[in-house]
Amino acid sequence: MEMNQIRYFLAVCEHRNFTHAASASNVSQPSLTTAIKKLEDELGGALFVRDRAGCRLTALGKLMQPRLRKVCDETREAKAEAVRHMRLERVPISVGVGETIGHNRISAAMERIRAQLPQAEIELIVASASALLAGLRDGEFDVVITAEKVSEDLYRIDPLYSEDYKVVVANAHPLSKLSAVSLSDLSNTDMLDRLNCEMRDVLHGTCAEHGHELYAAYRSNRVDWLIELARRGSGAVVLPVTAIPADKGLVSIPIEGLEVSRKVAALRYRHQTSRPETSDLIREIART
């Protein structure tokens, strides 16, 4: 069964006339008639009864019409999907983002890419570092944005930006009036502890070296929950600057006597071909 046979059959169904169907299909009537005859031979019976008024479907023709219409529609959609694939309309740039990475800078870069490539789609998945790296190796992601340190033998590493950490509290919190927060201040404050923070051990270790101990009133692996708790005055959370929301109810304050920063990079698996659109996105994120 060939697609031209199905198309000619459906054209005859629509026009109820072989001559008109051939004209609408831009084919000679003998060619259309021959194709219909081959289709009938393959299906084992006549599809049309021809009369002075034109033609009408046989019982077999009525049975085949919806099925062959579905075949034609699915074939057309498959071709359209292929075109969209080549034009990036349905092939998203798959971006894996670490759980601790702030969204401000990345989301702004994605909007700029969409302005440059309106047909491109972006898929954003937030997950743990181990899940992201495994997905990158398996081809699930085009790029992973993370602060994790990895081997240059396996991954292409594109530095994106460095960022400092600040203490975030509600604007009614006692610390909100300070220009800088000391380690002593933090030790006397209920902390909102990010369990998956790359700088968590550094912060706790530095405090311990200076004779201070941090008390975590709340612990969570979700930044949004900790920010909401901070907004409600439940304590202070230490966040990288790109993760701090523009919120009138919150105040961000530098930490005195402690230089805590991290480097965020874009990772691509060296054994995977990189798409040009991925490189464009990486350059946008790296822009200041």
The DSSP symbol for 175 reads: G
Q: What gap in Å lies between CA 177 and CA 282, rounded to an integer?
A: 38
Domains 93-161+263-286 and 163-261 share a fold: yes
pTM: 0.62
SS3 249: coil
Residue 12: predicted pLDDT = 92
Question: What are the residue ranges in the chain where pLDDT is below 70?
Answer: 80, 83-91, 288
The residue extents of the domains of the chain are: 3-86, 93-161+263-286, 163-261
At the top level of CATH, the class of 93-161+263-286 is: alpha beta
Q: Which CATH number fits domain 3-86: 3.30.530.20, 3.50.40.10, 3.30.390.50, 1.10.10.10?
A: 1.10.10.10
Instruction: Residue 225: name the closest of 190, 197, 203, 194 by CA.
Output: 194
Residue 83: predicted pLDDT = 64
Question: Could you read off the pLDDT of 33-52 as tens digits, one per residue?
Answer: 999 999 999 999 999 998 87
Q: What gap in Å lies between CA 249 and CA 260, rounded to an integer?
A: 24
Q: What gap in Å lies between CA 145 and CA 122, rounded to an integer?
A: 14
* CATH T-level fold of 163-261: D-Maltodextrin-Binding Protein; domain 2 (3.40.190)
Strand segments, DSSP code E, in 171-245 are 190-194, 215-220, 237-240
Residue 87: predicted pLDDT = 57
Q: What gap in Å lies between CA 105 and CA 101, rounded to an integer?
A: 10
